A and B are shown apart, each in its own frame.
Chain A
Amino acid sequence: NAGVMQNPRHLVRRRGQEARLRCSPMKGHSHVYWYRQLPEEGLKFMVYLQKENIIDESGMPKERFSAEFPKEGPSILRIQQVVRGDSAAYFCASSPQWTGSNSEQFFGPGTRLTVL
């Protein structure tokens, strides 16, 4: 029973390039969340998606960042024209179909982005 999968685990980009981070949720999970973690800090929420819908993007920077969760395939977090400040660990979490007001989120191993 595979958990949340993320790839790549490590990604190096030069300033101005694009970064694409992929996330495959746990089997049976239809909700995906992206978080960013800077060194020595907690996680910060970025975006919450269901299949083909963005539900909450209140934590996404207004420019250069976008996310999608298509009907088929993994969720993608895309960062255009990366800058050094984008260097961080990006974590994806998934949860099952919402059946109540609360739901646990299960995390992948993360993608560590380094911008040179």
Chain B
Amino acid sequence: ETGVTQTPRHLVMGMTNKKSLKCEQHLGHNAMYWYKQSAKKPLELMFVYNFKEQTENNSVPSRFSPECPNSSHLFLHLHTLQPEDSALYLCASSRNPGGGGELFFGEGSRLTVL
């Protein structure tokens, strides 16, 4: 069982669709994250959850809606996206929140918005 699992690995959606990305971590960590990775840009932090409570929302448009039902699962609900939202969406977890510990990433969900 890999540490952080993301599904689906690839997703193509139209601008009017609604879809969700799922992330599950098997590391017993307390913090989970969503990052966006676009070409030629650094990883962009989107959301942080600590013990399933959202602690950081990095000015993300409301068309991205996170959900964290427990410390092991994290979702990113997508609706009315724009073509510029096409990117690799990475989920990560860490033992504790904050900048002192390493993040462990999933393989990512490659999103294409038509």
Chains A and B bind each other = no
